[in-house]
Amino acid sequence: MSKDAYIHKLLPGNPGSPLVFAFHGTGGDENQLIGFARELVPGATVVSPRGDVSEMGATRFFRRTGEGVYDMDDLARATAKMAGFVKAHIEAEKPSAVYALGYSNGANILASVLFAASDVFDATALMHPLIPFAPDVKGSLAGRRVLITAGRRDPICPPGITSRLDSYLRDAGADVRLEWHEGGHEVRPNEIEAAKQFFAKTEQGQ
């Protein structure tokens, strides 16, 4: 496990505050969501890694062979590497709680880490995830809070696959909230508000 396995930014927070991981979408970098994460959880320490895969110049966390077709071997590699990175930062920071958010490709690597290491995150926000496979959840997600946000007309993440992910997570014991909007792959204001409320209620123990 290494805190430096990925190029990343760390935004220090208040002593004893939660630790929030922020995972960017395809073509983004460590700057894309770091400010948003701090806005969602004021005072938190934020860690935002940069994906280590390039797809025609666009940064990602794992390879794919086509739209919605994942290189599963590379996803397994990336998941193990990211889980180690996350655990190393948790060990170093010793936070009061561990949260994470990801958008698009970032939501996908976050979900994959959640499946592989179900005890790592207390709460996760998956914004427009696309999980086109049945996950093998290691352990139980009982007591873990998950927010999924999605667009009903998202050409990249079809609503049926989003609903299936919702079912997978519930079956694994997670406390899931699903927030929809009527658009596509873009993030809309109701998603941002849902994420703010989600983390605020998590902080309050509700």
Concatenated DSSP letters for 143-177? T-EEEEEEETT-SSS-HHHHHHHHHHHHHTT-EEE
Do 9 and 88 touch, CB atoms closer than 8 A? no
Pairing of strands 45-49, 8-11: antiparallel
Quick check: 144 pLDDT over 90? Answer: yes
52-97 confidence digits (pLDDT tens) = 999 999 999 999 987 778 999 999 999 999 999 999 999 999 999 9
pLDDT score recorded for residue 3: 93
Q: Which residues are catalytic?
A: 104, 154, 185
> Could you tell me which residues come within 8 angstroms of residue 167 by beta carbon, excluding any fewer than 6 positions away?
none
Encoded amino acid at 130, one letter: L
pLDDT score recorded for residue 206: 59
